[in-house]
Amino acid sequence: MILIISKNKEATTDEVIKWLFILGKKFIRVNEDEVFEIKIKEKRVYIESTKNSFFVDDISSVWYRRGGLKFKRNHYENLSVDIHMSEYQHWLEDYVIKMLESKRHINKQSNCYVNKLLVLKKAEIIGLDVPTYYLAENTDDIQLGKTIVKPITGNPTLESIRENSYGVMYTTVIDKYTKDNFFISFFQEKIEKNFEIRTFYLNGKCWSMAVFSQNDGQTEIDYRKYNDENPNRNVPYDLPSTVEEKIHQLMLSLDLNCGSIDFIKSKNQFYFLEVNPVGQFLNVSKTCNYFLDKEIAEYL
């Protein structure tokens, strides 16, 4: 039995499930709104929600896409007892998650988020080209027009519940100085690019797509500012084998067997930007006819 841990209305998950139906594979899909109870049946660990239930040892492979397993906790009036039992429940939950992660898997709930700063440091050690970067709390020493600012985290979305809206934090070129200090932020050298590259990595293999974003003012700095009226040209691309080998070494060092990776091609250099273990890859798959959804289904 295949376990898929995802979110409601997650399109990538839907596409992989279509292939699982075609391949005749049994699966359970768990979404972020499910809450499980840990039980014991027939001396076996069994988890159950209002939608799904299964024995942990019946699961043969796991795909962690997004979301995560959530567990119901009992609470007790006596504070000391409540704290004590909460610790017991924590270790039971940890046991279930770790047992599932010991199966054949694609990504893990326990390391679905990576520290960008540590990733860049490891990428440098492995030998990937990385644009010069630093942390700062003011713009005093910044070269205007030659420095970009971006989140230290992955790709955060700012949501406003009151206004029922959200905003995305895009990469931005610094074009003016500020008077006041601000929270420590991530700055990086602006690389003049030939094009960008989005690479999907799965268990030692890479599939890449070149994104010609530099010819459009809207997407030149951050191609995620999609121009729907005049989309960027995207084509299949082969990274040099030396770069792909370094990607493999980096992913092994991060204990990741899947992820979406961004590069900038500048003259003869390939600049590594970041890796997102649960990044989108359907665009790469469909544009380049890579059938990555099928690759995932077959691996599971």
pLDDT exceeds cutoff 80 at 219: no
pLDDT at 129 over 70: yes
Higher local confidence (pLDDT), 299 or 166: 299
* pLDDT single digits (tens) 54-92: 999 999 999 999 999 999 988 888 888 888 888 889 999
> What pTM was computed for the model?
0.89
Q: What average pLDDT does this structure show over 260-268?
A: 94
Confidence of residue 97 (pLDDT cuts 50, 70, 90): very high
Residue 96 parent element (H or E): helix 79-101
Q: Work out the percent of the chain whose per-residue pLDDT is above 70.
A: 89
Q: What is the mean pLDDT of residues 254-266?
A: 95
With a CB cutoff of 8 Å and minimum separation 6, the contacts of 281 are 12, 198, 200, 260, 292
Q: Name the helix (H) or strand (E) containing 260.
A: strand 258-266
pLDDT category, 138, cuts 50, 70, 90?
A: confident
22 burial via Cβ count (<10 Å: 0-12, 13-18, 19+): exposed
- The pLDDT of residue 190 is 85
Q: pLDDT averaged over the chain?
A: 88
Nearest-angstrom CA–CA distance, 98 and 94:
6
